[in-house]
Structure 1
Amino acid sequence: MWTRSSRTSCAPMPGGRSGMAASGYDRPRLMPVEGVRGGLTLRATLTLVYAGFLTLSLVAFAVTVQGMMTRNMLGSVHDQLTQVEKSVSLLWRSGKNPAASEGLAPGTVVQVDIYSLPLGAVRGWAASAFEVPTWQVTSGQQNLHFGAAHAEALRTGGSAFSTVKIGGVPYRVLSTLQERDGRAARVSVALPLVGVDQNLRQLRSVMSLVALWGLLVAFGVAYVVTGRILAPLRLVQAAAERISQDNLSERVPEARGEVGELAGAFNAMLDRVQRLVEAQRRFTSDASHELRTPVTSIAGHAGFLLRRTQLEPQQRESLLTIQREAERLGRLVQDLLELARQDAGTLTVRAEPVPLRWLAEDVAHGLRGVTRAALTVRGDDVWALVDKDRMHQVLLNLVMNADKAGARAVTVTVTAAGTQVQVDVADDGEGISPEHLPRIFDRFYRVEDSRQRGEGGTGLGLSIARAIVTAHGGAMELSSVLGAGTVVSVLLPASAAPDDDLA
């Protein structure tokens, strides 16, 4: 049966220093440690590279196809123009009306510019002279106007292709220089390019649609394919995330290729790490067991000499120092044993329903006259499923850490938190600097090393406390504001009160 202690506070003792002891503070698992992760994932990068390469390929393909189609269509138009030009030139040289040529395609324009000079003289003309014919024969009201490049091609080669606009409509024109009766003439035939432009626009529309669907399909295929390619890496990642100090037997599945070689090297490294960690654990456990007996013997003999012999002051002081250091070494050996059990997974917890406020009051009662800080317990009468002795050790450690640092007041607050019970141990000390917080839970880490050694701390207290809390399925976190104090919070699984309630 549980009995409630009526004493909930301890009187303060003078001469304390402010601040919670950093001795034994391990890094809390609940403290957020944010990593920097920037850029794209490997899968996204490979997908974008594949899709970008395909985009460039599609663009190059579209440009090539359009260029080929344009050349083919213009080639077909050029063939038609050549046939029409031959027919028109034959009619003109025969003295017939060249515009009366039969079988012309709809929209065909025929224009003959006749000059008064022979062909040889006309070939040496400047570009502007070609625009001043003696008379002109056309197939309609249209009038073909040419640029300097067209005239230069006629002057040097005797024929030229060019594109002109008539009423806003593009025409492809073939012009040749002919001669009849000692007079030169520029025979020009033109065909509209409306059909060619329409075909090219349709081709561009089709190519754009094909490219769009191709890109969508490419993104999908690339995403799926890269996912399958990277699947072994995800298995490696998942296995690596499962590996911890308590689970070094996990191994990464080995695949074929480069990923398999990476997994094999990773597994070989894990084998070496596991052997080293196991050797370290065995050494810690064996050394702790071997040291416990001689350390206890030294402390016992020192105590016996202090009690049963007449000693000079210097001898008594030396024996007191031996006894004090032996006891501190004994606590260190015990802490190392606890950590060895934690690392080996043999830390035992016998959980049962325990009234946490009662337990906190019991700790406070036991520390009456021992701590320099005023200790206060408050909160709810809630029960938790814990090991009474282990949790007594945790609370004792937290309170003593605060007291050893010279806090004037320490408050233990027990509250219900849904399916959990929260225990806060707060002090009014000077707090802990922010640069120490990331390492405050590391083993053997001290904010001020000399201070804690003088108080007899081992630097392992909170590491053990956290291990005990974790073994209960709980969590521990620490927050501190420099100049305002420190709060250590413990979350434990809640429990219903048993039928035999407090007596």
Structure 2
Amino acid sequence: MNRRTLRARIATGLLGYALLMAAAIFLHGYIVNEAVERTVWRSLLETELDYFQTRRAADPRFEWPQTETLALYRRPLSETASAHLPLALERLPPGLHDEVALDDHEVVVLVRDIGDERVYLTLDISDLEREERRLLLLLVGGSLLAAGLLAVLAWVVAGRQLRPVTRLAAAVDALRPDQRGQRLELTDDAPAEIATIAGAMNQYLERHERFVRREREFVDSVSHELRTPIAVIAGAAELIAARPDLPAAAVAPLRRIRQTARGVEQLIDMLLVLAKEPKRLSSVDQRFRLEELLPEIVLDHEHLTRDKALRLQAGPFAPTLLSAPLQVVQVAVGNLLRNAIENSDHGTIELRVELAGVVRIRDPGQGMTPEEVGRIYAALARRGEWRVGAGIGLELIRRICEHLGWRLDIETGPGRGTLAVLDLRASLVSEGDAGGVV
């Protein structure tokens, strides 16, 4: 959504105000001008007509001297028309009439009944009306020019006045969540309102730093508490493996326990890096083949299907060489597979890599409605309020994908199961550069 800047709003508002004021002044001037004109015309024509009436009373043979601007017409009241009276004047009642068209001229007419005659005294105002229209155009043009200059001035002044706001917005945009000690600095010309906002933001940054510090301390404490039992399990497994009377049937499960303990310890390290220094994830260069890792993940999760009529179908797997944190890939795929198992009761769960680096897990579960899928993606966009099973959850997978350039898509529908697509192609390594494969 494109939003107008405050600067543009101020300039537009002032321009609108200027145009409104110009229109109001023009309308007021027009009304006043028309009223004054009618008063002047009435006074002038009544004076002339009074003079004619006085002379006419003194000398009935007196005739009005016609000029280019003043003309007098008479019509007996007993007649409705006269050959000497212009048609434009015939229907005019007694009184003053402005801007009457008469023979390509504009005239003002004063009509009065004198004795048994109706007298029409006309004044040619064509030149005056033309001058009035010219002045009107000059006035309108000057008003528009003044409004335009005011808009430009408002734009410049608003830009200067809003410069502290712009600098504050740029300073806020430059803040980085992984840096400590960040504060907003104010210039000497910053107004009191900007200082208030900056002060509130600095207080928030301080509270945020304290919160992050507490979270990191908590993560350190939890990681320590997790490492202790893992170390105990690994140590006990080492001691048991060293016993000479160890049954042959226990060798493989014991090896599995030791491998899992090491994997969990590595996973804790990765999660700790994700929580404290996520940028380090992209620098981990563990090279391994995905088609060799996926069967192990399937084997680790087969026990979850024992009480269900479910079958895990693994393959085909396109040859894929990755350079990424192995334990992160293992846990991400394992979490999606666990989710598929937990949401299905019978049928076949397919795990495939048809395109190198793209893991597809399809389950036969009930699926989800579009609304439920929308809530999942909305939760992921908000850094997640939704969790699946007892694994690391979709939110953590999303964070891992964000830092490693991966992508997670979920396609589903009621009655047709769910398809989870984990795109790992950002970590692909060419087959010719396979040195150091784990």
Query: TM-score with structure 1 length normalisation?
Result: 0.61
What code does the residue aligned with 1:480 have? T
What code does the residue aligned with 1:496 have? S
- CA shift, 1:256, in A, is 2.0
- Aligned counterpart in structure 1 of residue 422 of structure 2, from 468, 484, 489: 489
Aligned to 1:292: 227
Aligned to 1:469: 401
Cα–Cα, structure 1 residues 211 and 474, in superposed 2: closer, same or farther, change >3 Å? farther
Cα–Cα, structure 1 residues 251 and 96, in superposed 2: closer, same or farther, change >3 Å? farther
Rounded Cα–Cα distance in structure 2 between residues aligned with 1:497 and 1:382: 8
- Aligned counterpart in structure 2 of residue 386 of structure 1, from 324, 345, 355: 324
Q: Which deviations, in whole Å up to 9, do the C-alpha atoms of 1:138-162 show, x marking residues without a partner?
A: 9954485576663xxxxxxxxxx44
3-state SS in 2 of match to 1:411: strand
Cα–Cα, structure 1 residues 362 and 39, in superposed 2: closer, same or farther, change >3 Å? closer
- CA shift, 1:95, in A, is 1.9
- Aligned counterpart in structure 2 of residue 281 of structure 1, from 216, 241, 250: 216
Aligned to 1:478: 410
Q: Which deviations, in whole Å up to 9, do the C-alpha atoms of 1:342-368 show, x marking residues without a partner?
A: 23216633444846xx32332314643
Cα–Cα, structure 1 residues 480 and 246, in superposed 2: closer, same or farther, change >3 Å? farther
- CA shift, 1:60, in A, is 0.7
Aligned to 1:412: 352
Cα–Cα, structure 1 residues 493 and 211, in superposed 2: closer, same or farther, change >3 Å? farther
- CA shift, 1:468, in A, is 3.6
- CA shift, 1:111, in A, is 4.1
Residue 382 (structure 2) pairs with residue 446 (structure 1): no
Contact 2:321-2:431 within 8 A present in 1 as well: yes
Contact 1:111-1:188 within 8 A present in 2 as well: yes
Contact 1:284-1:340 within 8 A present in 2 as well: yes
Contact 1:284-1:336 within 8 A present in 2 as well: no
Cα–Cα, structure 1 residues 479 and 60, in superposed 2: closer, same or farther, change >3 Å? same
| Larger Rg computed on CA atoms | 1
Rounded Cα–Cα distance in structure 2 between residues aligned with 1:89 and 1:209: 46
3-state SS in 2 of match to 1:348: helix
Q: Map 1:226-237; keep pairs closer than 5 Å.
A: 226=158, 229-237=161-169
- CA shift, 1:260, in A, is 3.3
Aligned to 2:68: 106
Q: Map 1:119-198; keep pairs closer than 5 Å.
A: 131=77, 141-142=85-86, 150=95, 161-163=96-98, 165=100, 167=102, 171-174=107-110, 189-198=121-130
Aligned to 1:92: 56
What code does the residue aligned with 1:470 have? E
Aligned to 2:363: 427
Q: Map 1:214-229; keep pairs closer than 5 Å.
A: 226=158, 229=161
Contact 2:73-2:119 within 8 A present in 1 as well: yes
Contact 1:235-1:252 within 8 A present in 2 as well: no
Rounded Cα–Cα distance in structure 2 between residues aligned with 1:486 and 1:233: 48
- The alignment's C-alpha RMSD in Å is 4.9
> Sequence identity, in percent?
20
What code does the residue aligned with 2:31 have? G
Task: Give unmatched runs, 5+ long, in structure 1.
Answer: 1-36, 115-130, 151-160, 309-323
Q: Which deviations, in whole Å up to 9, do the C-alpha atoms of 1:282-313 show, x marking residues without a partner?
A: 123224314532675489789999xx9xxxxx
Rounded Cα–Cα distance in structure 1 between residues aligned with 2:236 and 2:157: 75
What code does the residue aligned with 2:379 have? R
Residue 305 (structure 2) pairs with residue 364 (structure 1): no
Rounded Cα–Cα distance in structure 2 between residues aligned with 1:100 and 1:429: 110
Cα–Cα, structure 1 residues 278 and 142, in superposed 2: closer, same or farther, change >3 Å? same
What code does the residue aligned with 2:366 have? E
Return the structure number with greater helix share: 2
- CA shift, 1:191, in A, is 0.6
Cα–Cα, structure 1 residues 426 and 222, in superposed 2: closer, same or farther, change >3 Å? farther
Q: Which deviations, in whole Å up to 9, do the C-alpha atoms of 1:43-87 show, x marking residues without a partner?
A: 565454333322211211221232344355556545653664465
Rounded Cα–Cα distance in structure 2 between residues aligned with 1:502 and 1:288: 29
What code does the residue aligned with 2:216 have? R
- CA shift, 1:106, in A, is 0.9
Aligned to 1:395: 333
- CA shift, 1:378, in A, is 3.8
Q: Work out the number of aligned pairs and report it.
A: 397
What code does the residue aligned with 2:423 have? V
What code does the residue aligned with 2:333 have? L
Q: Which deviations, in whole Å up to 9, do the C-alpha atoms of 1:317-338 show, x marking residues without a partner?
A: xxxxxxx9xx99x96x987765
Contact 2:358-2:421 within 8 A present in 1 as well: no
Rounded Cα–Cα distance in structure 2 between residues aligned with 1:43 and 1:426: 53
Cα–Cα, structure 1 residues 304 and 94, in superposed 2: closer, same or farther, change >3 Å? same
Moved more, 184-193 or 47-56: 184-193
- Aligned counterpart in structure 2 of residue 344 of structure 1, from 272, 276, 289: 276
- CA shift, 1:488, in A, is 3.2
Cα–Cα, structure 1 residues 105 and 396, in superposed 2: closer, same or farther, change >3 Å? same
- CA shift, 1:189, in A, is 2.6
Contact 1:353-1:498 within 8 A present in 2 as well: no
Cα–Cα, structure 1 residues 361 and 231, in superposed 2: closer, same or farther, change >3 Å? farther
Choose between structure 1 and 2 for higher RCO, CA contacts under 8 A separated by at least 6 residues: 1
Moved more, 281-290 or 242-251: 242-251
- CA shift, 1:88, in A, is 3.4
3-state SS in 2 of match to 1:430: coil
Contact 2:22-2:143 within 8 A present in 1 as well: yes
Rounded Cα–Cα distance in structure 2 between residues aligned with 1:383 and 1:334: 20
What code does the residue aligned with 1:106 have? E
3-state SS in 1 of match to 2:410: strand
